[in-house]
Structure 1
């Protein structure tokens, strides 16, 4: 049978595909820009008005990660959160684009970091779950390798028999939903490849987990009557193997721990802002003070020493520039045909940068206006005392809008990725049982 499509219908399809691709690219660009802004923030701003992302362990302790790796990790986690948000809306095609971007950013992180966190493994599961939803059979080989990476990563992060996870969290019930989804996807791929025996073996493991993890509606209602949320009830019951009393105690303890963590975080930020203000009163910019404090691991005396050393180095650089380096730079501009007074002023305004000075003179046809000449030259060092130049309001507003947009996709609950209702999994389990019971009469 041949399906004939009119030229008008074909043009409409192509137009819709083009518009869809354009929207996806715009979404990816906005997500990347928003999280790049967040990754560059150093904590010098007021945390109550300017959001700052900090990478911490499950106890809220900041992880010490090299700056380049930290930026990649923030972008990876940001794209992952955006992708998961789109998955919840059943926009699997758009979600997959963001998840693959997250995968690229994770590849820039060191193997030691990836083997110590489960984020990378969860991402691999989410990517293959999108393949399943989109029926992307062409991605079969890639899906198989991603599931293997996920399984290997879970083994490294959680340990044999999940003993490392048990030591850290005290229970393993909540993470078992990840293994349920892993085994279910492995069962599906085995069936598609024609390996029914392996598909049945994995599906049996899935059904065993499902019987333990599927929430008891009556117990859920009882916990919610006590004032706990649906998520808290579901995660609590799984953590305590369905024991109602233990779950209530567990949820209450978690609430208290979470509140104590927030309190410690508020106190830490308050102390940090006080120290930054103290250093700023000595004549340093808040950004320079925040950077120095970061390198000094919060020690105010060490931070002050760093600022002093940097200021001294900047002064030495200035002296050198005014000595042997200055005339050489000036001669380069004079050789290009610019006036001496204008060249000297351009070098002063650009901090001695010949390329920037040349561009400044070209932009102004070799003549600098009184307004330009009255401007102060930029600081030659990021750590010398200076006054801060505010960014333009339009740029600041646009950045704030971008940041607020990407923050909307970040779950406020640290275990949101474990809070699977198992509704989708239940449907796929039923489908798999149907396929396997009918043998090879039909295919996926």
Structure 2
């Protein structure tokens, strides 16, 4: 746990990491087997003022590499330890670099910035092996406002302070299928209609969705979808948002899109909230956007988000708009397939990864459709149970038929004897 001081604010950082193991395995002939090694104990994460530092120890000297997941081709995000003779290793990442995910939190229990990144510790200098480890590190920088007051008593009249604190709303950003309350989308096909939905759980606050971006998760492609005034940059891709009367819900129906030759998409937006009762929301939300162009042309009526300083690696950035509180929200990752990925084309014996994934997605969607269409009271039976039931039914039917035939034969005999006695 680390305290640091900057610009009159106190920031508290702490860490969280989750362990994962890779699936591949590789060996190479060498006098020293790099895979005959392992991490001892748990790595230590330090949330410094402008960077994240990860320290770990290994049983033997570490000669592999440490890198940020998805950033192996970026020199600033990879450190090689070839020829190293130490078993205590440090790895540092500057805040905001190497596709570090950043999210601003504003709530009653936490207020600050959360930054997370996944780090791979690889013992081999080329391949990912079974002894490697992946750690998702998260640093949360808590902002505590220091209030300095000065008072002058001019009367002995006692003063009673009466205060009340309004609970800050909890806001979410989801992509849903079918409606604003539909299922959250994890897999989709290009052109499929979905709903981007932003909500805040309080009627006391209004919200403004702004500064929305889409990126590919690798830090290579990033595009702005909604500007700082809350207006769409391209209404053909993302139509203007629709707000409810309370201005605590906004949505836009969108046909799924993605970057060329990329499978995953990430969406992130800033949501500013203002207290409805004090009038600070008037003229700020909902935004007044141009009818066709998509970018705002009435800027004096927009809330303008201004950040302190120009350093993109600063852990905390405050919004100067009076009466507005801003939080960064990210939707869940979406895997998007091209239209031709769903046609299950097989060229020889080569099937692409996307086609395999498309098959799984289509099967998943079909199963979900079947489940939703079936009656909840329906009972599913396995093949052995069905076979047993058929055998029992057949045996019962045969026995009943035999009894019926026996009864008919016996009845005919009795009728014959009775008729003979009469004669």
Give the TM-score normalised by structure 1. 0.21
* Structure with more strand by fraction: 2
Greater gyration radius: 2
Structure whose residues are more often helix by fraction: 1
Give the structure, 1 or 2, with the largest relative contact order (CA under 8 Å, sep 6 or more). Answer: 1
